[in-house]
Amino acid sequence: MKIIHSIAELKAHLGEHKVQSQQIGLVPTMGALHEGHIRLVERCVQENAVCVVSVFVNPTQFNDKNDLLSYPRTPEQDAEMLRKAGCKYVFMPSAEEMYPEPDTRLFDFGPLERVMEGSFRPGHFNGVAQIVSKLFDVVMPDRAYFGEKDFQQLAIIRQMNKDLHYPIEIVACPIVREKDGLAMSSRNRRLSSEEREKAPLIAELLFKSATFVPVKSIQDTISFVTQGLAKDPTFRLEYFEIVDGDTLQTVENWEDSSYIVGCIAIFCGPVRLIDNVVYKYKKSC
């Protein structure tokens, strides 16, 4: 495994694989890796001759300076985990390498970006699209791997991939959870031990609420989750929405769509966590 910091060096290595028609997979990450990331990497290793993992805390997707400053960074540990998982190239660029000039591009993803994360984190998805499009341009992978934990991000990336005509297969990977149900996240390591003990309630309520379909109404389902979390002052809900899994727009009744997902963003102490649960699966799944 090679650790690479410059775009030119990465392109030179990948060029050698491309002339041999070897398929390349990309896993974009912000580091502080955990088992959830590694599952994406393992799939990328299985499905491609060459696995590239980027580790870059992208400043343009943070709308909150403190969140950027406090984002965990563990490059040596990340490299070790990636080596064990079979990654071939770790790309760890500096901010200057990725943004020699400020990126002034503005993306418009329409209704997809105006809800949930998009409305609570203004500019976030523009920053995500800036960095992911740059990584796509540099690596030009055959496949790129993203987690369903960031459900809205996945929809945005699929849209960007279409809009910019990238010939890249976007591979969605299921949420990886701790034994107690908490969705794995780099941010979990910032939870105090008391907050960490309480955090699994989020997934517990989401899973229980999934048993309500189709008997209880969507409104009752939302109340069950939000009221369950409101009982403990450790939690501060930002949003919980039940949406069409493709358009991300809210649905009123279970019959309104064949693919329905509940998405939540909630502070547990000072740490903002996101999670989601599928209420109705796409017919093809």
The site for ligand AMP (CB under 6 A) is made up of 29-30, 36-37, 40, 146-147, 149-150, 173, 175-176, 183-186
Contact 163, 239 (CB under 8 A): no
What's the closest the beta carbon of residue 142 comes to ligand AMP, in angstroms? 17
In angstroms, rounded to a whole number, what is the distance separating the alpha carbons of residues 175 and 165? 27
In angstroms, rounded to a whole number, what is the distance separating the alpha carbons of residues 43 and 145? 8
Contact 173, 45 (CB under 8 A): no
What's the closest the beta carbon of residue 215 comes to ligand AMP, in angstroms? 29
Contact 237, 274 (CB under 8 A): no
State yes or no: is 37 an active-site residue: yes
Phi, psi of 191 (to 5 degrees): -75, 140
What's the closest the beta carbon of residue 83 comes to ligand AMP, in angstroms? 18
Torsional class of 53: left (φ above 0), alpha (ψ -120 to 50), beta (otherwise): beta
Please choose, from the candidates 187, 182, 219, the residue with its C-alpha nearest in 3D space to the C-alpha of residue 67. 187
In angstroms, rounded to a whole number, what is the distance separating the alpha carbons of residues 221 and 212? 7
In angstroms, rounded to a whole number, what is the distance separating the alpha carbons of residues 63 and 274? 16
The token pair that represents 41 in the structure block = 């990497």
- 5, 17, 37, 165: which is the annotated catalytic residue? 37
Q: Which is nearer to ligand AMP, 37 or 124 (CB)?
A: 37
Q: Which is nearer to ligand AMP, 118 or 221 (CB)?
A: 118
Shortest-Cβ-distance residue relative to ligand AMP: 147
Q: Which is nearer to ligand AMP, 162 or 258 (CB)?
A: 162
Q: Which is nearer to ligand AMP, 40 or 271 (CB)?
A: 40
In angstroms, rounded to a whole number, what is the distance separating the alpha carbons of residues 27 and 284? 25
Which amino acid is residue 61, in one-letter code?
Answer: Q
Q: Would the CA dihedral through 192, 238, 281, 283 be positive or negative?
A: negative
What's the closest the beta carbon of residue 54 comes to ligand AMP, in angstroms? 9
What's the closest the beta carbon of residue 30 comes to ligand AMP, in angstroms? 4
Please choose, from the candidates 285, 199, 190, the residue with its C-alpha nearest in 3D space to the C-alpha of residue 245. 285
What's the closest the beta carbon of residue 59 comes to ligand AMP, in angstroms? 13
- Catalogue the active-site residues: 37
